[in-house]
Structure 1
Amino acid sequence: MNRLVAGCGLVCAFWLALPGVCAAQLMVEGLPRWGFDGKVRVGRFNLLTVEVFNSSDRPWQGNPKLEAATGFGGGDIPVIQQGLYVEPYGRRRLQFLVFTPRVTDYRLSWGRREGEQFLIDEPASTMRLAEVQFAESNPLLSSLADMPRFDDADFPPSAAGLETLAVVNLDHVPGWNDAQNRAFLDWLSAGGTLHLYQGSGGTNPAFRGTLSVLNEPSDNFPIGAGQVVRHAAGIQTAEVPEKEAAESNNRYRMWEPTRSSLELLKMMTQPDHNWGVIYLMTIAYLLLIFPGCWLLGRKKGDYRITYGAILGIVLLFSVGFRTVGARGYGENTSVHSVALAQPASGNRALLTQWSSLFVTGGGEYEIKHQTEGTVYSSGQLDERIPGFVLNRPVSLMMTDIASFSARTFIQAGVLSSLPLAPKILKFEQEEGNGSLKSLQLKSLELEFADDSLWKDDGLFRGVVLAGDRIYVLQPQGNSLVAATGGQSLKEVINQSDWTVGRYAFSNQTRTPPQLFESLRGPLIAYDLNLGSDEDVDSFVLPRGQAKAYLYVRLPDNARLEGDRFTQQSGRMLYVLPIREQ
């Protein structure tokens, strides 16, 4: 901990000393690229790739900083790329995962002098997840004019936060390292779709090592929750996604799952003040100030005694009010979290987590998790957060928090172990009038190794989504069996139960279990990429597919690290995609 704080201090000291580093000149080359297709998805982590060039004959070393350029008072928390080294006339590609509550400009800076910053213009945005072609760095052949292209060399070394990528078209073996291979397999296993095409010589790509599982000769085969489709043709025959229609002007009720989740988590720390004592102290304070000090001044006739008495009363009651107020919060630092987990390769899982850290003692706090490839954000642009985030691979957040206040934040990472995957014993659907909207779940049974997932857990909830209806999963021994009937997706999400804003539930008192129950709605909406009433009204899963949602205790390896955070509580919504065998 001491070495880490010292290291962070050196980062800040080096940053302040940057103007003294002479000769080497860094500059941004080309245009920074957002996401995989040049667009961002609001309310998600979005990839940002920036190439920098050292235009001098001397090496450049420093700590570039990325922050939102929203003007005074706003801007999330800065992200620092620690220890960047660029040789003379060399290039480096920087990558950040930026949570974007709304579209805005960003600024990359590497010093305080003129010319040592670059303004990244406000990006285009869309709700649709990305469908792209992975291309080699200098492709002369096999490219699609109407499909967004992404340089496969820029694929990140971790799948954390890559939820905005839905479909990849590929006709060659990328020259990735082991970390990139594992990240791609994690992304695919979590529900991605990969289309494999023949290369320029008419042969199928032959993968090695971790990706050798993609050599399966079948035309269509699953990889975890993802799907691989093999085509006996070149990539020029790929189906180009339709151009996106203009957004409807009737999206009158845009949802904000992240904002709502963070507000609900903050409400879990509810003070139980002794208002009787506070009122008596207030009356006593006012009476001592006046007429008490006034009478004292008249009797003693010395203004120094009067001023000293006033100062003493103010100090005494300041300590008293602080002590009584502290007891209203239980005098405990606490962390409340809720997470969304998707299965990755092996027993790993991709995790997105929302947290509220309430502290009773003000100061600087280190926020760090065990997850791999972790990224952090405060999840908002309304307030500039004191502190900084160190970009991957260091992956931590340092922030100053005032006494008896909460800091909310979002974190995405990869859990190294989450062995929850059950065996699917039965999955059947039946149709009504032949349309997807009439599709009903006939039966579903999931078998687990034991019943520890729900045993002695009063908050456990299990449901499954099929078509556009949600069915309760009922424990039966070591299995979960879907009940008949079901409810509409809109009823279960119950957006009015977790919305925030002028007409929200801010004046209602809820217990932590009730608040955790309300948090299921925004998590499901986030997973299904639902942003409005219109989205949920038109949503339906394809025939032969379902999604089970298991609401369980937050596992220990997803909790905040550190001896200062002994009181933590949280829930995790585990997403289990199901396909007809």
Structure 2
Amino acid sequence: MLPANLYLKWLLVLLVFVVTSEQVAEAIEFHDIRWGFNDRLTAYHINPVTVLVENPDSTPFEGEIFFHQESFRGQQIDIALAATTYVAPFEKKWLQFYPYISDFNANWRISWSQKGIQHSKTFLSPRPVSDKSIIQLVAPDRLSTVIPGIKQFPEDLYPPVTGATDALQIMLLDHLPRWEKTRREAFKEWVYSGGILHIFHNSNGDPLLFPDSYSPLKRQASPAYYGNGVVYYHQQKLNDLSYAELLRTLNADKNSSVTSKILNVKKNPVQESDATYASCDSPRLA
């Protein structure tokens, strides 16, 4: 039989182990991180960084989560971005930050406090590139045709913040996104600021019918110029195009300056039904 003192020591060790294990198990977890729009970052631009948060505990988590860059020696670089979030018990939730990215890869640290205990996790970002992103916007609950070389980006992760889409250059769209007002406004502002949008017929072969909340995208003239951006309306389904045909279309538009196209339209006016002109007094997308 164990002496009383030794028994108490083992009991204390067991209690400490149980309490520590419970605290570790209760901490929220980060399972996934998405860099930019297509798993890469664009240098010298604001990029969205999206992380998946899971709460494995029976009590909800509510608090601030911080995200900051640090040197390989562990020293913080620049200010930490903060987001206040709520994650219900046994639920998962996407959380998004919008850091400005320079031209080198670095360590990024996520930190938070939970039940008086500080937690953190580090991620190594991919090396930034100079090119902006090309994506196919997809509905999260719908299977879409995979296009080689073009990343699919879920519409529910599209940034609802104006200015957070600066690293996006071209979007392919063949359905009407189910967005709240903030995402619709950020999307329209992206087009106005220089985005290139390719609109295709939906999976049934029908043209997309935009409601008034997407005005003036309801207009089907092609190409249509809005501010520094341009919208192309294609008369076919996206999956009807071969990869080579789609690549030729995107390269032709990508290598053409939207600004020069607008100036060319002004110098050589066409009928108003064929284009929408950008000018200093043109109304912004509303």
The equivalent residue for 2:138 is 135
- Structure 2 distance, partners of 1:49, 1:241, is 31
Q: Give the superposition deviation at 1:175.
A: 0.7
AA partner of residue 239 (structure 1): L
Superposed counterparts of 1:62-461, under 5 Å: 62-70=63-71, 71-82=73-84, 84-101=85-102, 102-111=104-113, 116-236=119-239, 237=241, 239-240=246-247
Q: Judging changes above 3 Å, is the alpha-carbon distance between structure 1 residues 240 and 148 closer, same or farther for their aligned structure 2 residues?
A: farther
Q: Judging changes above 3 Å, is the alpha-carbon distance between structure 1 residues 72 and 90 closer, same or farther for their aligned structure 2 residues?
A: closer
CA contact (8 A) 1:52 1:94 kept: yes
Q: Does 1:545 align with 2:264?
A: no
Q: Judging changes above 3 Å, is the alpha-carbon distance between structure 1 residues 49 and 545 closer, same or farther for their aligned structure 2 residues?
A: same
CA contact (8 A) 2:194 2:258 kept: no
- Structure 2 distance, partners of 1:109, 1:123, is 20
- Structure 1 distance, partners of 2:118, 2:207, is 48
CA contact (8 A) 2:112 2:118 kept: no
Superposed counterparts of 1:455-470, under 5 Å: none
CA contact (8 A) 2:230 2:258 kept: no
User: SS at the partner of 1:180?
Assistant: helix
The equivalent residue for 2:8 is none
- Structure 2 distance, partners of 1:146, 1:234, is 18
Q: Judging changes above 3 Å, is the alpha-carbon distance between structure 1 residues 28 and 72 closer, same or farther for their aligned structure 2 residues?
A: closer
Q: What TM-score results when the alignment is normalised by the length of structure 2? A: 0.73
AA partner of residue 208 (structure 1): P
- Structure 2 distance, partners of 1:241, 1:49, is 31
Q: Judging changes above 3 Å, is the alpha-carbon distance between structure 1 residues 191 and 39 closer, same or farther for their aligned structure 2 residues?
A: same
- Structure 2 distance, partners of 1:117, 1:192, is 36
Q: Give the superposition deviation at 1:218.
A: 1.8
Choose 1 or 2 for highest CA Rg: 1
User: SS at the partner of 2:109?
Assistant: strand
The equivalent residue for 2:13 is none
Q: Does 1:35 align with 2:36?
A: yes
Q: Give the superposition deviation at 1:178.
A: 0.6
AA partner of residue 89 (structure 1): F
Q: Judging changes above 3 Å, is the alpha-carbon distance between structure 1 residues 28 and 95 closer, same or farther for their aligned structure 2 residues?
A: same
Q: Judging changes above 3 Å, is the alpha-carbon distance between structure 1 residues 228 and 541 closer, same or farther for their aligned structure 2 residues?
A: closer
The equivalent residue for 1:580 is 265
Q: Give the superposition deviation at 1:57.
A: 1.3
The equivalent residue for 1:59 is 60
User: SS at the partner of 1:580?
Assistant: helix
The equivalent residue for 1:454 is none
- Structure 1 distance, partners of 2:248, 2:166, is 18
AA partner of residue 106 (structure 2): T
- Structure 1 distance, partners of 2:256, 2:172, is 23
Q: Judging changes above 3 Å, is the alpha-carbon distance between structure 1 residues 115 and 135 closer, same or farther for their aligned structure 2 residues?
A: farther
Q: Judging changes above 3 Å, is the alpha-carbon distance between structure 1 residues 27 and 215 closer, same or farther for their aligned structure 2 residues?
A: same
User: SS at the partner of 1:63?
Assistant: strand
- Structure 2 distance, partners of 1:579, 1:162, is 27
- Structure 1 distance, partners of 2:86, 2:192, is 34
Unaligned segments of structure 1, at least 5 residues = 1-18, 243-539, 547-576
Q: Give the superposition deviation at 1:72.
A: 4.3
AA partner of residue 51 (structure 1): L
Deviation sequence 1:213-250 (CA, Å, 0-9, x none): 212122321122211101111112262489xxxxxxxx
AA partner of residue 180 (structure 1): R
The equivalent residue for 1:373 is none
Q: Give the superposition deviation at 1:115.
A: 9.3
- Structure 1 distance, partners of 2:59, 2:258, is 61
- Structure 1 distance, partners of 2:147, 2:221, is 25
Q: Give the superposition deviation at 1:171.
A: 0.2
Superposed counterparts of 1:7-26, under 5 Å: 24-26=26-28
Q: What TM-score results when the alignment is normalised by the length of structure 1? A: 0.37
CA contact (8 A) 1:206 1:212 kept: no
Q: Give the superposition deviation at 1:114.
A: 8.7
AA partner of residue 195 (structure 1): H
CA contact (8 A) 2:170 2:195 kept: yes
The equivalent residue for 1:287 is none
- Structure 2 distance, partners of 1:164, 1:543, is 16
- Structure 1 distance, partners of 2:194, 2:168, is 10
Deviation sequence 1:180-200 (CA, Å, 0-9, x none): 101100110111110001111
Q: Judging changes above 3 Å, is the alpha-carbon distance between structure 1 residues 74 and 59 closer, same or farther for their aligned structure 2 residues?
A: closer
What is the aligned-residue identity percentage?
Answer: 22
The equivalent residue for 2:270 is none
- Structure 1 distance, partners of 2:49, 2:260, is 32
Deviation sequence 1:51-79 (CA, Å, 0-9, x none): 10111111111211111131244411111
- Structure 2 distance, partners of 1:39, 1:217, is 33
CA contact (8 A) 1:24 1:60 kept: no
Q: Give the superposition deviation at 1:143.
A: 3.3
- Structure 2 distance, partners of 1:53, 1:543, is 42
User: SS at the partner of 1:81?
Assistant: strand
AA partner of residue 91 (structure 2): G
- Structure 1 distance, partners of 2:52, 2:90, is 13
- Structure 2 distance, partners of 1:118, 1:135, is 30
Unaligned segments of structure 2, at least 5 residues = 1-19, 250-254, 267-286
AA partner of residue 78 (structure 1): A
User: SS at the partner of 1:55?
Assistant: coil
AA partner of residue 246 (structure 2): E
- Structure 2 distance, partners of 1:154, 1:137, is 9
- Structure 1 distance, partners of 2:39, 2:69, is 18
CA contact (8 A) 2:55 2:61 kept: yes
